[in-house]
């Protein structure tokens, strides 16, 4: 199903759910159950086939092996496969366990809300480093349930919200638990994972064509119905929170989370991660520093800009959470209360209110936990930064002696972008595009940096690259769509989103065509320039194992301007290797990785690899590159 069709399906399901809630809920259950039933039927058929073949083999061989033992063995193997498919592991969430003395008022608030909402028992309350509040229902027996309920309280969120706003956020999450949203969501999640595992199997293996046939017909409807379900659950939980804390308080909390999320993502975390260029170890006091930053908050202009952008953001066809504007509309609250975000100077954050004097010690424990979790990634980032700085110094030395090539200038701009962000790379990108206007990667990077800085001139650079580079269209059109969305230009945003969906659908079809070559495919002359052919020959001549080499182009329908090459080689081997195509590809593949081809390609080694392809490629005019 194409993405635009899927988007229309989601809208139809949303309308149906609003008009017929009971019938919609029944359809969700039936679709989910159908996933289990079809998987069970497939496994039953597989068991019957294996058992039948085993029985016939037993009868034909007159074996003394017990038929009962053979049946038990087949049944055990089938049950093992079934268990691996259906048993979806839910790892225990991480965080610092809330102790009795850490926040007695917070524990009392949780107990009051759980009693009022009649939620299942909470087994553990964890304080985490993420900016969110959540409930996790972890099934200890996989598909058989026996749930353990965790309440996750993000300390950054508690440092962001006022006590009243945090109470609303907490009521929202416990509202999910009260309505068993988490348990049903876990069931839906297990079905999704089960079918991802089955669908990931090769066509000829477990799952096979029957799995692919079912998935292409069932999965879009299952995903659409459960996506709408997730959104409805968010609206339901918002209603719980509004009843307990007030809808204006909830609206301010939702808006503050959007603004602070943008502040942390665009300002604070990049500054923290930039320290990896200098410090080999992550800081352990990051939670204390975060509290100070959140108390100061963003500048008023940034705050208003980010809030206006959040209010303009639409609910995308893949979003399980509705957009801020949709949630406020469902609460029947205008955006005006959300725009008055500032807390009074003397007011406390929810973290200060609930933890009091224990807050510094809790911040220290969480900071140490965060440092342990990110340590390996931080050290890797530090190593890469050191290598990048060394390479930048080498390029600077080279530039003082001679003009850099466009490739070297592009490398220099990439390194600047990685190390110093857009501000450091922008002058180099502008200079490179001015000197080499046909450099696709540089123009795309320049367009991205300009759009992220809200400079509309970036649109022309992205559009120029998308016209010439099919692989850039999906991400490029989405960049432009988000830019127009941020600036309230809904018509242009929707147009570029449709272009992105169409490009993604076309790209998937093109990739499917380029997964290989078989006897039914037509091969065409390679259409390489004489210079490209000479470069290929020179590289192939340096491989002693090669006896002969051919190249052609597969006739493709989708994105035909991007060629898909077929490379066939014969090797000088007189051993077992000569009769094992996979082993030959493993032997020669690394030597061919750097072939200067302007498109993807597949490799055939030896005549036994595919007789039909060999017969075809030898008949293509100009296909022979090398013969010794």
pLDDT per residue over 125-136, tens digit each? 999 998 889 888
Who's near 105: CB < 8 A, 6+ residues apart? 353, 354
pTM: 0.81
CA angle, corner 410, sides to 389 and 381, nearest 5? 35
The more confident residue out of 343 and 491 is: 491
Which residue, among 470, 564, 550, has the nearest Cα to 514 in the 3D structure? 564
Specify the range with the lowest mean pLDDT, choosing from 153-157, 165-169, 580-584.
580-584
The stretch 519-529 carries a mean pLDDT of 91
Model confidence at 205, pLDDT cuts 50, 70, 90, reads: very low
Whether residue 195 has pLDDT greater than 80? no
> In this prediction, what percent of the chain has a pLDDT beyond 90?
52
The mean pLDDT value of the chain amounts to 85
> In this prediction, what percent of the chain has a pLDDT beyond 70?
82
* Pairing of β 133-139 and β 147-154: antiparallel
pLDDT digits (tens, 9 = 90+) for 256-301: 999 999 999 999 999 999 999 999 999 999 999 999 999 888 888 8
**What pLDDT does 58 receive?**
65
Q: How far apart are CA 20 and CA 610, in angstroms?
A: 56
For residue 65, the SS3 value is coil
Which residue, among 295, 289, 299, has the nearest Cα to 269 in the 3D structure? 289
Q: How far apart are CA 464 and CA 503, in angstroms?
A: 15
CB atoms within 10 A of CB 122: 16
Cross-strand partners of 380:
none
Q: Which residue is it, tokens 């493993």?
A: 586
Model confidence at 207, pLDDT cuts 50, 70, 90, reads: very low
Cβ pair 482, 311 in contact under 8 A: no
For residue 25, the SS3 value is helix
Q: How far apart are CA 545 and CA 334, in angstroms?
A: 73
pLDDT digits (tens, 9 = 90+) for 402-429: 999 999 999 999 999 999 888 889 999 9
Cβ pair 220, 3 in contact under 8 A: no
Q: How far apart are CA 412 and CA 287, in angstroms?
A: 35
Same fold, 403-514 and 523-627: no
Which residue ranges make up each domain of the chain? Answer: 3-87, 94-201+208-370, 403-514, 523-627
- Half-sphere exposure of residue 237: CA atoms within 13 angstroms, side-chain side: 29
Please tell me the CATH superfamily of domain 403-514, with its number: Tetratricopeptide repeat domain (1.25.40.10)
DSSP string spanning 503-535? HHHHHHHHHHHTS---TTS-EE-----HHHHHH
Specify the range with the lowest mean pLDDT, choosing from 14-18, 44-48, 255-259, 470-474.
44-48
Whether residue 204 has pLDDT greater than 60? no
**What pLDDT does 216 receive?**
83
Name the token pair of 258. Answer: 């959007």
**What pLDDT does 541 receive?**
87
pLDDT digits (tens, 9 = 90+) for 425-457: 999 999 999 999 999 999 999 999 999 999 999
**Angle, helices 406-435/440-452, rounded to nearest 10 degrees:** 60
Q: How far apart are CA 89 and CA 32, in angstroms?
A: 19
For residue 98, the SS3 value is coil
Give the DSSP letter of residue 471.
G
Q: What length is written for the chain?
A: 628
CB atoms within 10 A of CB 507: 16
Give whole-number Cα distances, 28 to 1, 87, 117, 184, 226, in Å: 19, 21, 25, 11, 7
**What pLDDT does 206 receive?**
44
Q: Which CATH number fits domain 523-627: 3.30.70.1350, 3.30.2350.10, 1.10.1040.10, 3.20.20.80?
A: 3.30.70.1350
The stretch 42-68 carries a mean pLDDT of 67
Whether residue 609 has pLDDT greater than 60? no
Q: How far apart are CA 544 and CA 528, in angstroms?
A: 24
- Half-sphere exposure of residue 118: CA atoms within 13 angstroms, side-chain side: 1
Whether residue 151 has pLDDT greater than 70? yes
For residue 135, the SS3 value is strand
The more confident residue out of 336 and 495 is: 495
Helix (H), strand (E) at residue 257 = helix 247-263
Specify the range with the lowest mean pLDDT, choosing from 59-63, 501-505, 588-592.
59-63
Specify the range with the lowest mean pLDDT, choosing from 151-160, 211-220, 268-277, 342-351.
342-351
Give whole-number Cα distances, 562 to 79, 328, 349, in Å: 46, 46, 56
Name the token pair of 210. Answer: 């029957």
């Amino acid at each position: 199903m194409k993405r635009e069709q899927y988007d229309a399906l989601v809208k139809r399901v949303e309308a149906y759910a609003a008009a017929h809630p009971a019938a919609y809920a029944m359809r969700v259950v039936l679709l989910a159950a159908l996933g289990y039933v079809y998987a069970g039927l497939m496994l039953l058929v597989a068991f019957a086939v294996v058992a039948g073949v085993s029985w016939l083999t037993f009868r034909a061989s007159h074996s003394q092996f017990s038929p009962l033992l053979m049946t038990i063995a087949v049944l055990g193997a089938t049950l093992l496969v079934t268990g691996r498919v259906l048993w979806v592991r839910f790892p225990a969430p991480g965080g610092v366990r809330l102790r009795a003395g850490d926040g007695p008022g917070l524990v009392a608030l949780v107990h009051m809300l759980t009693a009022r909402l009649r939620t299942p028992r909470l087994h553990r309350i964890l304080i985490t480093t993420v900016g969110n509040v959540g409930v996790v229902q972890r099934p200890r027996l996989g598909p058989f349930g026996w749930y353990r309920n965790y309440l996750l309280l993000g300390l950054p969120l508690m440092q962001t919200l006022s006590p009243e706003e945090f109470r609303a956020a907490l009521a929202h999450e416990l509202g999910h638990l009260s309505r068993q949203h988490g348990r049903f969501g876990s069931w839906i999640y297990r079905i999704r994972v089960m079918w991802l595992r089955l669908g990931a199997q090769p066509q000829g293996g477990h799952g096979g064509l029957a799995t692919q046939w079912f998935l292409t017909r069932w999965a879009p409807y299952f995903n659409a119905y459960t996506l709408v379900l997730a959104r409805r659950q968010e609206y339901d939980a918002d209603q719980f929170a509004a009843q307990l804390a007030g809808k204006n308080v909830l609206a301010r909390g939702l808006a503050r989370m959007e603004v602070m999320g943008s502040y942390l993502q665009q300002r604070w975390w990049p500054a923290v991660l930039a320290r990896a260029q200098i410090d080999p170890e992550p800081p352990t006091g990051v939670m204390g520093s975060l509290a100070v930053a959140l108390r100061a908050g963003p500048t008023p202009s940034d705050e208003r800009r980010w809030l206006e952008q959040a209010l303009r953001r639409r609910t995308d066809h893949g979003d399980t959470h509705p957009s801020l504007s949709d949630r406020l509309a469902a609460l029947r609250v205008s955006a005006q209360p959300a725009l008055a975000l500032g807390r009074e100077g003397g007011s406390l954050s929810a973290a200060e209110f609930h933890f009091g004097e224990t807050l510094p010690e809790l911040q220290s424990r969480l900071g140490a936990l965060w440092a342990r979790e990110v340590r390996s990634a931080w050290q890797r980032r530090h190593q890469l930064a050191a290598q990048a700085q060394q390479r930048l110094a080498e390029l600077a030395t080279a530039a003082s002696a001679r003009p850099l090539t466009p490739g070297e200038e592009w490398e220099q701009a990439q390194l600047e972008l990685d190390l110093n962000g857009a501000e450091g790379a922008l002058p180099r990108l502008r200079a490179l595009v001015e000197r080499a206007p046909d450099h696709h990667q540089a123009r795309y990077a320049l367009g991205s940096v300009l759009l992220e800085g809200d400079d509309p001139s970036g649109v022309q650079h992205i559009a120029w690259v998308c016209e010439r580079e099919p692989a850039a269209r999906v991400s490029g059109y989405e960049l432009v769509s988000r830019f127009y969305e941020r600036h309230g230009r809904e018509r242009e945003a929707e147009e570029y989103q449709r272009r992105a969906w169409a490009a993604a659908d076309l790209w998937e079809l093109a990739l499917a065509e380029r997964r290989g070559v078989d006897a039914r495919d037509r091969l065409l002359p390679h259409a390489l320039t004489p210079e490209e052919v000479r470069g290929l020959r020179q590289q192939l001549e340096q491989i002693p194992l090669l006896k002969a080499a051919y190249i052609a182009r597969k006739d493709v329908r989708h994105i035909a301007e991007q060629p898909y090459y077929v490379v066939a080689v014969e090797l000088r081997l007189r051993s077992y290797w000569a009769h094992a195509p996979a082993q030959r590809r493993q032997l020669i593949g690394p030597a061919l990785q750097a072939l200067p081809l302007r498109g993807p390609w597949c490799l055939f080694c030896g005549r036994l690899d595919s007789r039909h392809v060999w017969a075809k490629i030898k008949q293509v005019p100009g296909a022979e590159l090398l013969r010794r």
